[in-house]
């Protein structure tokens, strides 16, 4: 089973016990009487990830001030971004869970997947050294920095920013409505439509109504960003 994961991350462990530990949730360790789970590795992985991301941002964006670098870092190491990475790797398939977590959908829980990813980073670091951890972070986490819209990232609350923009343009206020809900209860995806009178209509998805509304607001902001006040 772990050979498949090693193939996905393009890294072969010398000490397979480190990978096994990284994928072992406390519920499984308690159930099987194991001495170690992935909690300490998660703690270490969080620090290793933070340092690598900080180093990469300083190297790639020497023109940015500390505030904008911090915003970029916050996004890259956020639970939302790490969850998407864990999803792409199908990390939930490889988690070792206790019966209770298994029954309650532990393989798709955000917290467990994010913790597992951070533990995996630590396991790679301990097994292959800092350069191996760097390669993993570069390939699977830092690579998405090219897709980040720095202007949109500055807007920590897109709904408020959109409201201010529309007021300045003397346009109708934005209206939001949930147009679709898909997926099981523990992993529901919401699609929210945003409408600004007859000027704009768009939709975005999110794992909560609030997230979907914020993403929809970002779409509207992009649309009205070139409009004259």
> Which one of 20, 37, 101, 118 is the catalytic residue?
118
Q: What is the Cα–Cα distance from 38 to 19, expressed in whole angstroms?
A: 9
46 catalytic, yes or no?
yes
Q: What is the Cα–Cα distance from 5 to 90, expressed in whole angstroms?
A: 9
Q: What are the angstrom distances between the C-alpha of 20 and each of 144, 152, 204, 207, 227?
A: 27, 39, 37, 29, 54
Closest of 179, 186, 170 to residue 201, by C-alpha: 179
CB 92 within 8 A of CB 113: yes
Closest of 161, 175, 147 to residue 218, by C-alpha: 161
> Which one of 42, 46, 101, 115 is the catalytic residue?
46
Q: Which residues are catalytic?
A: 46, 118
């Amino acid at each position: 089973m772990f050979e498949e994961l090693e193939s996905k991350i393009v890294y072969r462990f010398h000490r397979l016990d480190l990978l096994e530990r990284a994928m072992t949730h406390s519920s499984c360790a308690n159930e099987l009487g194991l001495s170690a789970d992935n909690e300490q590795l998660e703690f270490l992985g969080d620090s290793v990830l933070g340092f690598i991301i900080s180093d990469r941002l300083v190297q790639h964006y020497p023109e940015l001030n500390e505030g904008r670098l911090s915003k970029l870092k916050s996004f890259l190491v956020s639970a939302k971004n790490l969850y998407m990475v864990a999803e792409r790797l199908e990390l939930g398939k490889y988690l070792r869970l206790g019966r209770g977590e298994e029954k309650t959908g532990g393989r798709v829980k955000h917290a467990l997947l994010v913790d597992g990813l951070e533990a995996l980073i630590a396991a790679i670091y301990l097994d292959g050294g800092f350069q191996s951890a760097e390669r993993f972070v570069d390939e699977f986490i830092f690579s998405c920095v090219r897709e980040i819209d720095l202007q949109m990232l500055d807007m920590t609350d897109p709904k408020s920013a959109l409201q201010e923009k529309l007021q300045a343009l003397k346009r109708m206020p934005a209206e939001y409505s949930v147009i679709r809900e898909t997926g099981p209860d523990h992993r529901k995806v919401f699609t929210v439509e945003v409408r600004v009178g007859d000027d704009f209509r768009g939709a975005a998805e999110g794992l909560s109504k609030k997230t979907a509304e914020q993403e929809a607001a970002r779409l509207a902001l992009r649309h009205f960003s070139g409009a004259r006040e």
